[in-house]
Structure formats: structure tokens, C-alpha cells
Chains A and B, each alone.
Chain A
Amino acid sequence: MKVGVLALQGDVREHISALIACGINPVEVRRPSELEDVDALVIPGGESTTIAQLSEIFDLYQPIKNRIDAGMPVYGSCAGMILLADSILDAKQGQKTFGGLDITVRRNAFGRQVDSFETDIAFADGSDQLTRAVFIRAPWVEKVGSGIEILATVDSHPVAVRSKTLFATSFHPELTADHRIHRYFIEEVARPALEKVK
């Protein structure tokens, strides 16, 4: 499986390390030709307005949207969650997303950086172990549409959701040494989806 990390801006390196720890040999994606080469994509944490804008300038916006529509498995953390949401609140005027997940996400919902936090959360991958989740100016999911599974919550706000091929967390598993969330994306989201295509 060839997994790309969208490398326009953000904590690309941390996602690459986490994927390597899951036995994947990831590549950076900055150009349309690099996108064509990958089977699955990770959208890192970063500034969602910046990433959206760079994707338009460098002709990646529509190709990513098309791949999402065609069923490419994608995982987005934090800014990545915002970029996968069909609709966003507290957005910059005219801010675009790739969309695909039928959710409404509120940007910076947990507050500014002074309100950023880490905590132990339950993640519904079948394990009863808690996982340490780091929330940085994090969004939350305010509304979920049909076919969206909620995998984790904080104070009753969904912070991890998935559809068939798309998966998003408002926290940053790439900042911890626990690679369970990335493994979940690879083994439970991407691999089944890609095997079906074959």
C-alpha cells in the first residue's frame, strides 16, 4: 500500500514517523503527479486555511476532491479533519474544504492555545485501553450526517469519526508514541477499502 502525506504545510514529519512505525513507507505529496501515485492519503495537522489555499494554487484541490469521491482512503488530523468536513463553522470567509465526510466541524472549538490540552480518551477500535490525545486549538464535530460512525468523544463532542473510506480526528496522535490511531487507519480503513477495489 502506497500512502502519501499531504506536505504543503504542517506536522508532516510526525505523520511520516508514525506511518513508518506502522510498517508503511510513506511519501510526501506536493504535486498532482505525486497524488496519482498513492493509494491512500494522510492530511496532517497545520493551518487549515493555509493548506486549502496552497492546494488550490498548486493544482491539488480538485484532484484531491476527485480522489476522495472515487473512494481513496484518507485520514485527517486536526486541520485534516477540517479539510475533510463537508461544512465548517467559525471559518475564514470563503474558506474551502475538500469535503467528503458528512459532518459539520467547528474550528478552534476548544478555544485558543491557552485552552489546548492533552487527556486520556477511549477510542472505539475494540481495545478498552485509553489513548493519550493531544488537542491543539482543536476543532470538534458539531453535527454528524448519516453513515458517520463516532469513534471517540470529549465532553460529548465527537473528536474521532469515520465513514467508509474517510477517517478524521480532532487530536494529534502523531505527537505521541502510541501509533494505535495510525494503525487503525491503515488496517481498518485503508486496507479493507483498497482490497475491495482490487
Chain B
Amino acid sequence: MSEAKGTGRVKRGMAEMLKGGVIMDVVNAEQAKIAEDAGAVAVMALERVPADIRAQGGVARMSDPDMIEKIQAAVSIPVMAKARIGHFVEAQVLQSLGVDYIDESEVLTPADYENHIDKWDFTVPFVCGATNLGEALRRINEGAAMIRSKGEAGTGDVSNAMQHMRKIGGEIRRLSSMREDELYVAAKELQAPYELVKEVAQSGKLPVVLFTAGGIATPADAALMMSMGADGVFIGSGIFKSGNPAQRAAACVKATTFWNDAKVIADASRGLGEAMVGINVADLPAPHRLAERGW
């Protein structure tokens, strides 16, 4: 075998290197530097954080290439960017800019309400959101090299992230306890390919790295998601919509590494100033819930 780019191992391996880390949403080079200095393992470059997309409404799209390039020039850590669900041309543009990971994201307005991007077609790896195991496996079947539980972006309310992590974990545990001849029906029920279902049943985990996103706003939130089995966390609006972003960012990084040490989390939580105000997911009318985008 000779040299090969964009193989499954190279794409999934990139996500393995992010494990135990925090990926932060940033909207300009200055924020990207704050994130890098705080110990972020990567930044997500986008024009508006989810909380603002929610507040301002309208169609949310891929970011301006100029803005992405400025962020790439400002930091040495990986830079990710979001494409709309099914918008493979936005993804081609992001790949041509050399972004390190594409998030095919429900936070942006979907471009296709039936099909996701055929991610096998790309050299750059993709991360996709999921609310349950079937959805995660459908995305992996389309070529996603990393999964994040969706939560409810831009709320600062961690309850949906919790619900999605419990759901994914619970469905994996259920598969692991099944007889092999029951996996065919399980695959049908999960609406996921049998081969992937069998792989999960045998290994007891997803075949790719699983991060958590959507509503994480405090160090304790980050640690909570790590204890639910997340490999790492995405923090969107939670950092730069808070009173002291640099300190909060560093605190979330600490709590993610020492998620099982309450004393470290307590120290990290001291004197952080105001957290993002937040919205209770229960108060959001169903059409405004982002997690329901993607299928």
C-alpha cells in the first residue's frame, strides 16, 4: 500500500486526537486566540454563535471565507467550520479553504430536508450531530468520522445534551445485551445498516469518537457530559456569551480533563462571573428547536 490521503483511519484518527478536549465556537480571530490560549483543542469558525442565530432569526449559512481564513491565520490549533445539512457545495468550499473538520450542522438552516451530504466524497473529515443511536449510525454510514450529540444549541440548557447522551448510551448498552439473531430486527428498528449495528453490539461503543454539544455553559456541565461517556465537548455560545470568556474557557478545559475530580471542578467554577443567560428548552416552541433538524 502506498501513500493515501483522506482514508477512514486518517479522518477518524484526527478526531481521536481531540479526545479529552474542548472545541469552542468563535466568530473572529480575537476570540480564536482567546480560545487557543485557554487550551481549546480546536475552534469552530462561524459568523454567529447559535444564541445569536436564535435571537436574530433568518437563514443561517456557511461563514464568509475571509473570516474563516483570518481565524486560520490567527491560531495554530485545528479550525473547523459549519456547512448546512445537505449543502455539499458549501462543504466543497470549506474543503478548498483547508478547514480541518466540517460540521454538517443543524445549527445552520438545512439546505436539503431529505439527504445529508455524501461525506465519503471528501478528503476532509466531517462531524455530524445525532440525538439517538440510529441517527448516529446513519451519519457514520454516510461517511461521518466523528459524532456529537446535538443537545439544543444556543440555549445554555444542558438537559437536551443529557437526554441525547443517555439515549445513545442506553441504545448501545441494549444492543450489547442482545442475542446475535436479534440484531437484524434491532437494525430495522434503529433504521441503521446491519453491519454497523453488529459492530456497535460487539464493541459496546460507536466506531467513531463521540463528543457532546448543545447547551453546555459551565465547567460542571462539561464534566457532567464527560461522565456520561462523551469523549470531549463542544461549547458554542456558552463561552463568548458569558461575562469573562477567557476565564470560563480555561475553566471548562480544566473540568473536561478532571471530570471525575469534584475538587478540581469546584476550583475551576470559582469567580467566573456571569454565565450566559440561557433559555429553558421547554420554553422553546417546537419549530425553534434545532435538534429536530436532521433525520
Contact = CB atoms under 8 A, between A and B. Distances in A.
Interface of A: 7-14, 30, 45-47, 49-50, 53-54, 57-58, 78-79, 90-92, 95, 107-108, 111-120, 132, 134-137, 172, 175-176
B134 interface: no
Contact of A92 (B1, B19, B75): B75
A70 to B, nearest CB: 26
Contact of B76 (A107, A113, A118): A107
Contact of B21 (A46, A116, A132): A46
Nearest to B75: A92
Nearest to B95: A114
A134 B11 CA distance: 10
Interface in B1-50: 1-7, 9-10, 13-14, 16-21, 36, 39-42
Contacts, number: 129
B246 interface: no
A132 B6 CA distance: 15
Interface stretch (B250-258, B271-279, B282-290): B250-258
Contacts of B36: 49, 92
A177 to B, nearest CB: 11
13 contacts: A9-B257, A46-B20, A46-B21, A47-B18, A95-B76, A111-B98, A113-B78, A113-B125, A114-B123, A116-B10, A117-B4, A136-B17, A137-B100
A117 B17 contact: no
Given A134-B13, A136-B10, A112 B100 contact: yes
3 smallest CB-CB distances across A and B, nearest first, come from: A113-B100, A119-B3, A11-B16
A47 B1 contact: no
Interface residues of B, number: 39
Nearest to A94: B37
Given A46-B19, A50-B41, A116-B14, 13 more contacts: A10-B20, A13-B19, A30-B257, A46-B20, A49-B36, A50-B39, A113-B98, A114-B98, A114-B100, A118-B3, A118-B7, A119-B1, A136-B10
Contact of A11 (B9, B19, B75, B254): B19
Nearest to A54: B257
Nearest to B231: A13
Nearest to B76: A92
A79 B13 CA distance: 13
Contacts of B4: 117-119
B9 to A, nearest CB: 6
A119 B124 CA distance: 18
A131 to B, nearest CB: 11
A9 B3 contact: no
A183 B145 CA distance: 29
B77 A47 contact: yes
B124 A113 contact: yes
Contacts of A53: 39, 253
B9 A134 contact: yes
B211 interface: no
B258 A137 contact: no
B101 interface: yes
A53 B37 CA distance: 8
Given A114-B5, A114-B95, A118-B7, A8 B20 contact: yes
Contact of A120 (B2, B75, B76, B124): B2
A8 to B, nearest CB: 5
A149 to B, nearest CB: 25
B21 A50 contact: yes
A14 B76 CA distance: 24
B17 A46 contact: yes
A116 B1 contact: no
Nearest to A14: B16
Interface string B174-194: 000000000000000000000
B77 A49 contact: yes
B41 A9 contact: yes
Contacts of B40: 50
Contacts of B19: 9-13, 46
